[in-house]
Structure 1
Amino acid sequence: MNVLVIKANNRPASEAISTRMFETFMENVEVENIKVYDVFEEYTPYFGQDFFTIFGKLQQGETLTEEEQAMLAAQQKAQELFKEADVIVYAFPLWNLTIPSKMHTLIDYLYQAGFTFRYNAEGQSVPQLPGKKSIILSARGGFYSTPETAPLEMGVNYMRNVITGVFAHDILEEVIIEGHNADPQNAEKIIADGLERVKEVAKTVSQLQINA
C-alpha cells in the first residue's frame, strides 16, 4: 500500500496547528511505503498561460525551453506520486477562507482532463483514477461548523468536492481542529483532543497496511 501525505503549511508546528497535525500523523503512522509532498518545498510554479503554452507546444511537437521542461516535470512529478498512491492524506490550514495558494496549484496540476477525469460522448465527467482513499487533516482558528458560518468555509468544502466529485475518491477520515483562536480559554483542550483524533487516524491507516 502506497501512502502520499500532502503538507500544505510552511509555518512551524509551534505556530501552526495543521503543521502539528501533519507531524503527529507522521509520528504515529506505520506504513512501509509513505511519501511526503510538501507544496512549499517542491517546485510548484503557478498554473496559468505558461502551462497552456507548454501543452500547445507538446501537441504541435515543438521543443520546450529549459524552463518549460522544468515546469512540465514539476507537474508530472506531482501526477506520478498521486497516481501511485492508494491513500492520500491532505494536511492543510484554512487561510483567508480557503486553502493555501500553493496547495491550489497542486490541485490544478491534478485536476486535468485526461488524467483524473475525461469527458464522455455526452459531455459528462468520468473519473480516470477512482477507488483511492483520502484523509483530510485541517485546522482553522475560528468556528466554521455552524449553520451561519459553514457557507463561508471554502477550504474543506472545496477539497471535499474535488476529492469526491472529480477524483471519485472515498474520504476515509476527517479531522478538523477549529476554534482554538476564537476560544483561547479552551484552546489547549481543543488542540489536544484534535491531535488525539489524528493519532487514531494514523492507526487506521496503519491497519490498512496490515490488511493490504
Structure 2
Amino acid sequence: MTNVLVVKANNRPSTEGVSSKMYEVFMEEVKGAQDLNVTTFDVFAEDLPYFGQDLFNAFGKVQSGEELTDIEGRLLTAKQKAMDALTAADVVVFAFPLWNLTIPAKLQTFVDYVYQAGFAFKYDAEGNMINLMPEKKAILLSARGGIYSTPETAPMEMAVNYMRNVFGGVFGMSVEEVVIEGHNAMPDKAEAIIAEGMERVKAAAKSLSAVHA
C-alpha cells in the first residue's frame, strides 16, 4: 500500500482555478485504486497560523514548562499535524497556482511548518546538508496563466522553482512536475492547453497505481 498525501493549495472553485481542477482530476483518477491510501490536506481549510515569533515563544515555553497561549498552542498543534502528515506519506502531491509570481501564503505556511532541521534535513560534522527524505516522491501540479518557461521569464517564476528546491533540493525527494501555463496569455488556445495538461495530470495519477500494483 502506497500512502499518498495530496496538499490542496487553491480555494478557488475548479471552474475558475486551473490548479483546483488539476486537484479534482487527480483525485478522480486515484479514486478506487486498491493499492493507494489517499489523504487530502487542504491548507485553506486547516487552522494554519503564520510562522513567526509566537512559534518560537512556544518552543521556549515547552522547554521551560510554561503555559502556552492560545495562538502558541494552535501553532504547535498545526505544525505537528503537518509534519505527521508528511512523515506518513510515501508520495506527496501539491496542487497549487502561481499567484503574484509565488505560492499562496497558506502553502508557504505548510512549508514553513515542515522545513525543519532534524526532520527534513540535517548537517554533518563538516557542515554539509544531508537530505532526510530521499525515499519519498513529490508531484507538483501547478497552473499559471502566463508563460514562465522561456529564458526571459523563467527566473521570475518562484512557485514551482521554490517547491522543487525545497522538496527536491533540501528534503531530497524525487520530483515530478505537471505544469499548465499560458491559458490566460493565449485565450484562443486555452481550452486545448488545459485539456492537454489534464491528460498529464491523469497520467501522473495512473503511474502511482501502476508502479505499486
Short-chain TM bin:
over 0.9
Superposition pairs of residues 1-212 of structure 1, within 5 angstroms? 1-29=2-30, 30=33, 31-171=35-175, 173-210=176-213
SS at structure 2 position matched to 1:79? helix
SS at structure 1 position matched to 2:113? helix
Q: Please identify, of 27-36 and 173-182, the stretch whose mean Cα deviation from structure 2 is larger.
A: 27-36
Q: Please identify, of 50-59 and 76-85, the stretch whose mean Cα deviation from structure 2 is larger.
A: 50-59
**Cα distance, 1:68 vs structure 2:** 1.9
What amino acid does structure 2 have at the position aligned with 1:198?
V
Distance in 2, matches of 1:63 and 1:127, equals: 34
Point out where structure 2 has 5 or more consecutive residues left out of the alignment.
none
Distance in 1, matches of 2:209 and 2:134, equals: 22
Deviation digits for residues 147-169 of structure 1 (CA, Å, limit 9, x no counterpart): 11001000000111111111100
**Cα distance, 1:120 vs structure 2:** 2.2
Deviation digits for residues 50-80 of structure 1 (CA, Å, limit 9, x no counterpart): 0011111122232323432222111101100
What amino acid does structure 2 have at the position aligned with 1:93?
P
Distance in 2, matches of 1:45 and 1:77, equals: 13
Distance in 1, matches of 2:83 and 2:157, equals: 27
Give me the CA root mean square deviation: 1.2
**Cα distance, 1:4 vs structure 2:** 0.3
Distance in 2, matches of 1:130 and 1:176, equals: 23
Distance in 2, matches of 1:197 and 1:95, equals: 22
The two structures have a TM-score, normalised by structure 2, of 0.94
Distance in 2, matches of 1:52 and 1:36, equals: 28
Distance in 2, matches of 1:55 and 1:100, equals: 26
Give percent identity, aligned residues only.
Answer: 60
What amino acid does structure 2 have at the position aligned with 1:199?
K
What amino acid does structure 2 have at the position aligned with 1:14?
T
Q: Please identify, of 182-191 and 118-127, the stretch whose mean Cα deviation from structure 2 is larger.
A: 118-127
What amino acid does structure 1 have at the position aligned with 2:200?
R
Conservation of the 8 A alpha-carbon contact between 2:182 and 2:193 = yes
Distance in 1, matches of 2:100 and 2:194, equals: 20
